[in-house]
Every structure is written in structure tokens, then in C-alpha cells.
């Protein structure tokens, strides 16, 4: 956290320029209160970038709309029923909400919207004390009825009132607490953590879409590991994504294996480090990469179902990659992730062990081509996931695997330069196949195409004459 005086000076500059000053002047001229509230105030004191401009006011939604229309380029009133009007001012989007004093029925997380009459009352109904601070503009007066500044300085996340009441009003706040703890690097106050654990079943009234949103935001934080651990410790993970706590496999004195749960968290950490290092236009990797992080966290979820105690004290997890891919697909579908994300994550999990055969013996060019073909547009993510999956403390083994993957990536780059591997196709297309074999569109054409693709992967590019001759030989043998 940066010094309070420095933060106040920053907020003063923010309030004196751009859309904040424009709004402050308009509301003051009309005799209405206006305050910058929540995230922007919190982040200013933490020295974090301010990405949202949220305001609260004593003006009604109709009055807000009337005040912002003359000074804005666009307005949206889709949140009018909840007291919120959005506008575009000087190139920035702002949201202004009427003071609220909502009430909840305890069976849904949708409040009966009630407008309040004071800034202090509005702040006390918010989720956490660090989000319950406001800066009155243009006066530049900090309002902090829940002592959020004390918690900000201490790095503690707590609710303004009793956590049981806060989470009873809106159970989604339990997931927000976990996400904010990771995002801000804060600890959750003991009474707040206890309430999350005791009230975890109430998460069932929250829509899957909102759960998905919070889980995704958690994984996209700079360091999500602590949040994932709290998700598991609280028992919420058991209700949302039970495959994660299931990784805490029991160990006995006769059969030993690595801690799969801790291994998965370490893989997540290492994948994020590599993601940040490799992000760029050349790799196509962006940071944060939700697909990669989901794959890293879930890559071993097939192990509980495939665990076998072998003679001699060994433990095996045969085909956990295939099983895990299917489990991930099912879980992500239930969490309402989009089809592209589901397909990419499940594919990465299915392929995450493929590389480890590379160290057993030199792969042929054909094997390298198949690796690239099977990875498809997930190749760069697969590079990261495979490297991140090495968590051994045996330095010699770790170096051997790292050097082997360096070699594989170099071979992929070399072959790609020679053969344009990213778009590997048979040397003859469907039209040529039909002309050469005198066929009409049919399954036989697809089989011929697959034969030529395998030939291309095995032997590299062939001339049209050679490909035609090999196709005719295959067809003659097939129809003999």
C-alpha cells in the first residue's frame, strides 16, 4: 500500500480532471451529492491501476440521466431498475448509482431494491470494508464508516457488518471474498472465513453464470493459488468444482506418490510464470490466459479415478490423461463455460503426457509432425503446460526434461520452417483424389484423404507425381 497522503493527492488529481470533474460540477450545480466509491478509491490507496469509475449519489435514476445527458456522448439505462445509469464521458465509461438500502428475502440473491438517503448508509451495505470507502467530489472528503482504511493498511478482508448477515443477503460475496483475497493479496478475517465455511451450502442459490464469472476472475488474478486453497479449505470447492479437493489423495505407509493436489497448484504457479514470459504476438499467448490456467489446475483430475496400488509400493494412474479430459469436459460444461474453452482445456489435458515419451528415445520427424498436428492451435499452450508439469525436486531429472523439451521445440521450429507444418495437408486435395480414382464424393474419398495425410506426416512433402503413384498403389491394394 502506498502512503495515504500520496494516494489522496492522486485522488485529488483524478477528481480535478476528465469525467470526474465534469460529473462533480454537474451534480454540484444541481444541488446533488456525488462520490467516487468502491474499487477506484481502494485501488488508489493500493497503488493499483484504476480501471473503473463508479459513483454513488442522492439523485434518483431519472435525475442522474437528466444530469449526465448534456455532458456525455452516450448513456445507458439498462440498470435503471437497480438505480444505475451508465454514460460515456470524455472517452471513459462511468456508472452512477442512487444510494441504496436493499433488503433480501434469503431465498434468492436478488434484493428488493430500496433507495437510501445517505452515503454512509449506502457504504455499510457493501460487501467488504475495503470496498466501502468513498471520496466526496468536488469536496475531496474521504468517507469511511466501516473503517476500511484500517483493513486496507492491515491487508485484511472483512464484511462491514456481521458476515453471517452479509453472506445471507448475497452468498456470491463468499466467492468474491476468495477472489479478492487472491487479487489483493489479503488475508480473510477469521470470523469472515468461518462464516464462509459454515454458510457454503447457500451458494446453491447463486446462478451458475455468476459462479463461473467469479471462478474465472479468481484464476485470472496474478497469483490465484491462495484463492484456490481457500476455496478448498472453505468447502466451497466441493460444491463448485469437486474435482479439485478430490486431488487430495490419501497416502499410506506402503504405497507412496506425490501430493497430487499440491503438485497441481505448483503446476498452476509455473504455468502462469511461463505464460507471462511467453506472452506476445509471436506465440499468440495472452496474459492472463484462462484456458491455460484451467488446464494447469485440472490436468491431473483423472488421477483419483485411475489410482492403483501396484506391487512393490508403487502407485499408478494409467490413462489419467484421457479420463481427466472427459471429467474436465463434463465439469466445465456444467459450469457453463463456452464450447471453445471446453474443447481447448480438455484437449490440453488429453495431450499433457504425450511429450514424456520423447525422453525415452528420439522421436522421428513423423512423430514430431503428429505431435504438432494433434495439438493444433493449442501447441503454444501445450508447450507451457508440459514444461510447467515438471515439479520434481531432482535437479538432474528436471534439467534432462527441460533440455529434451528445448530440443523438441527446436525440431518443431525447424520442420515448420521447412514444411509449413501449421497447415499440414495431404499432397493431393479432394478434387484431385476424385479425379485420379474416378470417384464421386463418398466415404472412400475421405479414407483416401486420410491415407495421404498419414503419408505426409510419415514422409514429409511428396511431389504430385509421387503422391499420385502412392495413392494408386493404395487404391489397387484396397480394391484387390
Residue 103 grid cell: 433488503
Lowest mean pLDDT among 77-91, 325-339, 409-423: 409-423
Q: How far apart are alpha carbons 461 and 452 in whole angstroms? A: 10
Question: Is the pLDDT reported for residue 421 higher than 60?
Answer: no
Among residues 152, 218, 209, 225, the alpha carbon closest in space to that of 186 is found at 152
- List the beta bridge partners of residue 112: 103
* Residue pLDDT, tens place only, 258-284: 689 999 999 999 999 999 999 998 888
33, with CB counted inside 10 A (0-12, 13-18, 19+), is middle
**What pLDDT sits at residue 161?**
92
Question: Is the pLDDT reported for residue 94 higher than 90?
Answer: yes
Beta carbons of 125 and 110 less than 8 angstroms apart: no
Beta carbons of 244 and 228 less than 8 angstroms apart: yes
* Residue pLDDT, tens place only, 296-318: 999 999 999 998 887 877 888 89
Q: Which domains does the chain have, with CATH numbers?
A: 1-154 (3.30.460.10), 158-240 (1.10.110.30), 253-423 (1.10.3210), 430-479 (no CATH)
Mean pLDDT across 408-424: 74
Give the CA angle between residues 177, 214, 160 to the nearest 5°: 25
Question: Is the pLDDT reported for residue 62 higher than 90?
Answer: yes
Q: How far apart are alpha carbons 246 and 266 in whole angstroms? A: 16
Question: Is the pLDDT reported for residue 105 higher than 60?
Answer: no
**What pLDDT sits at residue 110?**
65
Residues 6+ apart with CB under 8 A from 439: 433, 445, 448
* Residue pLDDT, tens place only, 129-171: 999 999 999 999 999 999 999 999 999 999 999 999 999 989 9
Task: Give the phi and the psi of residue 316 in degrees, each rounded to 5.
Answer: -115, 155
* Residue pLDDT, tens place only, 164-208: 999 998 999 999 999 999 999 999 999 999 999 999 999 999 999
Question: Is the pLDDT reported for residue 370 higher than 70?
Answer: yes
Q: How far apart are alpha carbons 203 and 83 in whole angstroms? A: 25
**What pLDDT sits at residue 359?**
63
Mean pLDDT across 447-460: 85
Q: Which residue has the higher pLDDT, 392 or 313?
A: 392
* Residue pLDDT, tens place only, 5-50: 776 677 777 777 789 999 999 999 999 999 999 899 999 889 888 8
Sign (positive or negative) of CA dihedral 360, 363, 368, 370: negative
Lowest mean pLDDT among 341-350, 383-392, 454-463: 454-463
**What pLDDT sits at residue 462?**
86
**What pLDDT sits at residue 1?**
62
Cis (ω within 30 of 0) for the bond into 288?
yes
**What pLDDT sits at residue 254?**
41
3-class DSSP state for residue 316? strand
Amino acid at each position: 500500500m502506498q502512503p495515504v497522503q500520496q494516494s489522496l493527492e492522486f485522488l485529488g488529481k483524478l477528481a480535478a480532471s476528465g469525467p470526474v470533474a465534469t460529473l462533480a460540477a454537474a451534480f454540484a450545480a444541481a444541488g446533488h451529492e456525488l462520490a467516487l466509491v468502491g474499487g477506484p478509491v481502494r485501488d488508489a490507496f493500493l497503488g493499483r491501476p484504476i480501471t473503473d469509475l463508479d459513483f454513488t449519489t442522492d439523485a434518483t435514476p431519472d435525475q442522474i440521466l437528466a444530469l449526465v445527458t448534456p455532458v456525455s456522448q452516450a448513456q445507458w439505462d439498462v440498470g435503471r431498475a437497480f438505480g444505475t445509469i451508465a454514460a460515456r464521458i470524455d472517452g471513459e465509461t462511468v456508472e452512477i448509482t442512487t444510494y441504496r438500502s436493499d433488503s433480501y428475502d434469503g431465498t434468492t440473491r436478488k434484493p428488493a431494491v430500496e433507495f437510501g438517503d445517505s452515503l454512509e448508509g449506502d457504504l455499510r451495505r457493501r460487501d467488504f470494508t475495503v470496498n466501502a470507502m468513498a471520496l466526496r467530489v468536488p469536496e475531496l472528503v474521504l468517507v469511511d464508516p466501516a473503517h476500511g482504511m484500517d483493513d486496507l493498511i492491515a491487508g485484511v478482508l472483512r464484511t462491514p457488518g456481521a458476515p453471517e448477515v452479509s453472506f445471507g443477503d448475497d452468498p456470491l460475496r463468499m466467492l468474491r471474498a476468495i477472489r479478492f483475497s487472491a487479487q489483493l493479496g489479503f488475508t480473510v478475517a477469521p470470523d469472515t472465513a468461518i462464516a464462509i465455511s459454515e454458510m457454503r451450502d447457500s451458494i446453491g442459490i447463486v446462478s451458475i453464470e455468476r459462479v463461473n464469472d467469479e471462478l474465472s476472475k479468481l484464476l485470472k488474478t496474478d497469483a490465484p493459488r491462495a484463492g484456490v486453497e481457500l476455496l478448498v479449505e472453505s468447502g466451497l470447492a466441493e460444491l463448485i468444482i469437486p474435482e479439485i479437493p478430490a486431488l487430495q489423495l490419501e497416502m499410506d505407509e506402503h504405497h507412496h506418490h506425490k501430493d497430487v493436489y499440491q503438485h497441481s497448484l505448483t503446476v498452476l504457479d509455473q504455468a502462469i510464470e511461463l505464460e507471462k514470459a511467453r506472452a506476445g504476438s509471436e506465440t499468440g499467448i495472452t496474459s492472463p490466459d484462462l484456458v491455460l490456467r484451467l488446464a494447469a489446475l485440472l490436468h491431473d483430475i483423472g488421477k483419483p479415478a485411475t489410482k492403483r496400488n501396484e506391487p512393490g509400493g508403487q502407485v499408478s494412474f494409467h490413462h489419467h490423461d484421457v479420463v481427466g479430459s472427459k471429467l474436465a469436459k463434463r465439469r466445465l460444461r456444467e459450469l457453463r463455460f463456452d464450447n471453445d474453452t471446453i474443447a481447448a482445456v480438455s484437449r490440453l489435458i488429453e495431450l499433457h503426457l504425450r511429450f514424456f515419451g520423447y525422453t525415452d528415445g528420439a522421436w522421428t520427424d513423423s512423430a514430431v509432425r503428429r505431435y504438432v498436428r494433434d495439438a493444433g492451435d493449442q501447441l503454444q499452450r501445450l508447450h507451457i503446460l508440459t514444461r510447467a508439469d515438471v515439479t520434481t525436486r531432482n535437479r538432474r531429472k528436471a534439467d534432462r526434461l527441460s533440455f529434451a523439451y528445448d530440443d523438441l521445440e527446436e525440431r518443431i521450429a525447424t520442420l515448420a520452417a521447412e514444411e509449413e507444418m501449421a497447415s499440414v495437408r495431404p499432397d493431393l486435395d479432394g478434387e484431385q483424389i476424385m479425379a485420379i480414382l474416378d470417384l464421386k464424393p463418398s466415404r472412400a474419398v475421405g479414407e483416401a484423404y486420410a491415407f495421404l495425410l498419414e503419408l505426409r506426416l510419415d514422409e514429409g512433402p511428396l511431389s504430385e507425381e509421387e503422391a499420385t503413384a502412392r495413392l494408386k498403389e493404395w487404391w489397387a491394394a484396397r480394391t484387390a
